[in-house]
Structure 1
Amino acid sequence: MFFVRTASEGDLPKVSALLAETWHAAYDAIYGADKVSEITAQWHSVAALADRLKRKDSEFVVADDGKTLGGMAYAAMSKTEPMVAILQQLYVLPQYQRQGIGRDMFAELETCFPDAKVMRAEVEPQNAAAIAFYEAHGFERAGEASARVELPGMPALVYEKALG
């Protein structure tokens, strides 16, 4: 059984590996393995994750069963919209998907931003599994991203969920 807890610096190498695995599983067919490797090396490096871990007005959680990190999620308050929390990452290892880990991590993040009225996520338009997850958890499509947080220049659908 996985428990959701706040990530620590000691988790970051495992989180980096988790992100590489989940990104290759989800995005190799869309972007190609080389591009996914390039993105994960930069955006999911231990140093990049450490910066997120230290950011104020954010929450970084992992799903831990005592032996394995099965998932991770990260959200932060928007720097430009004071009532918006941005769900920047929510990933579960492929072998643990559809077991409620993503739901549990998301439920934890929903409670971490008392000033937020909305949680927003950007989703790759071809990632049907992610779209289904967000829609199943109360998100509604709110448009398309013109300046994507995670992958500048790449298309994204914007989903939002009212909080509170």
Structure 2
Amino acid sequence: MFVRTASERDLIAVRALLVETWHATYDAIYGAAKVTEITDDWHSIASLRSRLTKPVSEFLVADDGKRIGGMALAECVDSGKLVVLKQLYVLPSLQGRGIGGMLLDEIIESFPEARAVRLEVEEQNTRAIAFYEANGFVRSADVGKHTDASGKPTLVYNRPLVG
């Protein structure tokens, strides 16, 4: 897999990746019908297309030449000092092979002036939490700005980039 900037031609594959990953991750938590409702809205082609041109952001895919195996989206805020990781997903069949780490590294390299990375994660997404903690993220006392499908606030994790 190699990591590159996403383009219009990737959107159908990215949507398929997100739908598959969300169902694998969240069906047991929210139910398949709710996950389908969420992915139909948040991961529509139109929604994904709008992310391609978002200012001060990076939309990446992990590609092996035959398929898109992962994706990541982040934006820089606070005058370039903070990277907000909005999405990082890897196909379930490819998880545990370093693809998520490659995407995360490239996101960080895309914002050389940043001092920290921040993300929000669903409390019951234990695999994601384990991944982020293994990659230097620490849970913050802050409450997430987003709520999960059950209406609970998401957990906030931070990773400093410079000491």
The answer to whether the aligner puts 1:115 opposite 2:113 as a matched pair is yes
The answer to whether the aligner puts 1:126 opposite 2:124 as a matched pair is yes
TM-score by length of 1: 0.92
Is the partner of 2:146 in helix, strand or coil?
coil
Offset at residue 117 of structure 1 (A): 1.1
* Unaligned segments of structure 2, at least 5 residues: none
1:6-55 CA distance string (max 9 Å, x none): 10111011101100000000011111111110110010111111111101
| 1:88–1:150 contact (8 Å) kept in structure 2 | no
Aligned match of 1:87: 85
TM-score by length of 2: 0.93
Aligned match of 1:52: 51
Root-mean-square deviation (CA, aligned residues, Å) is 1.7
Aligned match of 2:29: 30
The answer to whether the aligner puts 1:72 opposite 2:71 as a matched pair is yes
Is the partner of 1:156 in helix, strand or coil?
strand
More strand by share: 2
The answer to whether the aligner puts 1:43 opposite 2:42 as a matched pair is yes
Q: Sequence identity, in percent?
A: 55
| 1:147–1:153 contact (8 Å) kept in structure 2 | no
The answer to whether the aligner puts 1:16 opposite 2:15 as a matched pair is yes
1:110-129 CA distance string (max 9 Å, x none): 11112321110101101110
* Unaligned segments of structure 1, at least 5 residues: none
